Amino acid sequence: MNRRPLAALAAVVALFAAGCSSKAKDDPLLRLSADESLTEGKRLLEAEKFGRARPYFQHAFEVEPNSKTGREALLLVAETLFLEGGNTNLIQAEAKYRDYQNRFPTSDRAAYVQFQIAESLAQRVERPDRDQATTRKAVEAYQDLLRLFPTSEHSEKAQTALRRVRDQLAEHEYQVADFYLRFRLPAATASRLENVLEVYPEYAGRDKVLYRLAVAYRELERADDAQATFSRLRTEFPESPWIAEIPAENR
C-alpha cells in the first residue's frame, strides 16, 4: 500500500491543528483572568452591548466555574440572552438560568433565578388561539417561585405576572368554547365554560363567559340554568356590554 498520500494528509491536518491552536492562544480574550473577563463583560453590559459582553462572561465562567466570579459570570450569560430578547435568545436564557439553578441550588440568588425562568417563559407565550404549552410552563414557574420563596422581593411581581398568564389560559379556553358554540356543540361549550368559571375565578372576561354559557344552556334546553346564568351576569357585572345581548325573554 502506498502510504505517502496518508502521510501527507496527516501532515496537513497537523499543520492545520497547530495553526488553530496558535490562533486560539493569540485570542486576547483567552489571556484574561476570570476577574478581568468579568470586569470587561460588565463594562460592555453596562453599554447594552449584550452580544459582545456574553463571550467575556462565558470565558470567566469556564476559567473558574465554581468560584464566586464564575457563578456571577454564568448568571450574567443568562442575563445577556434575556436582555437581548427574541424567542431563540429567551429559550437559551431559560436554559442558562436552569443551569445556574442546578449547579448552585443554595445560591442567595435562587429566588431571582426562578423568577427569571418564569419571565423567560412568559415572554414566549403564544396568542390565545395558539398552543398554550409555554404558557402553562410559565404558570408552573411562577407558582414554584411563590411556593418556594413566598417572602421573596419578587413575589409581588410574580403574583401580577401569574394573573396575566392565567388570564391567557382562560382566554384560550373561552375561544375554544366559542368555537364549539359556533359549530352547534352546546354541550362541549357548556362543559368548557363551566371549567373556566371554576378554575379561573379571577379571569377578567368572566362576563362574556357567563353570557356564552347561558346561550349554551338555552341551546341545550336547560331554561332554568340559562335564566340563572343571565341573572348572575346582570348581578355580578351590571356595567357589562354583554347584558344588552341578553334575549328579551330572559331579561
Integer-rounded Cα radius of gyration of the chain: 28
- Contact (Cβ atoms closer than 8 angstroms) between residue 85 and residue 123: yes
Residue 22 has pLDDT above 90, yes or no: no
CA separation for the pair 106, 92 (Å, rounded): 22
Q: Which residue has the cell 330572559?
A: 250
Exposure of 4 in the CB half-sphere (CA atoms within 13 A)? 1
- Contact (Cβ atoms closer than 8 angstroms) between residue 210 and residue 203: no
CA separation for the pair 222, 111 (Å, rounded): 49
The pLDDT-based confidence of 176 (bands split at 50, 70, 90) is: very high
How far CA 109 is from CA of 47, 141, 142, in Å, comes to: 24, 16, 16
Q: Which residue has the cell 496537513?
A: 12
- Contact (Cβ atoms closer than 8 angstroms) between residue 200 and residue 193: no
The pLDDT-based confidence of 251 (bands split at 50, 70, 90) is: confident
List pLDDT tens digits, range 77-122: 999 999 999 999 999 999 999 999 999 999 999 999 999 999 999 9
SS3 141: helix
What mean pLDDT is predicted for residues 175-199?
Answer: 97
State residue 172 phi and psi, 5-degree precision. -60, -45
**DSSP annotation of 203:** -
Share of the chain above pLDDT 70, in %: 90
CA separation for the pair 14, 145 (Å, rounded): 52
Closest residue by Cα to residue 40 from 53, 28, 50: 53
What mean pLDDT is predicted for residues 243-247?
Answer: 96
Please classify residue 23 by burial: count the beta carbons closer than 10 Å to its beta carbon, then call 0-12 exposed, 13-18 middle and 19+ buried: exposed
Of the chain, the end-to-end C-alpha distance in Å amounts to 98
Going from N- to C-terminal start, the domains of the chain cover 27-83
Give the number of other CB atoms < 10 A from CB of residue 222. Answer: 16
The pLDDT-based confidence of 18 (bands split at 50, 70, 90) is: very low
Spell out the alpha helix ranges (H) of the chain. Answer: 4-26, 34-46, 50-63, 68-84, 87-103, 110-122, 133-148, 155-182, 186-199, 206-219, 223-236
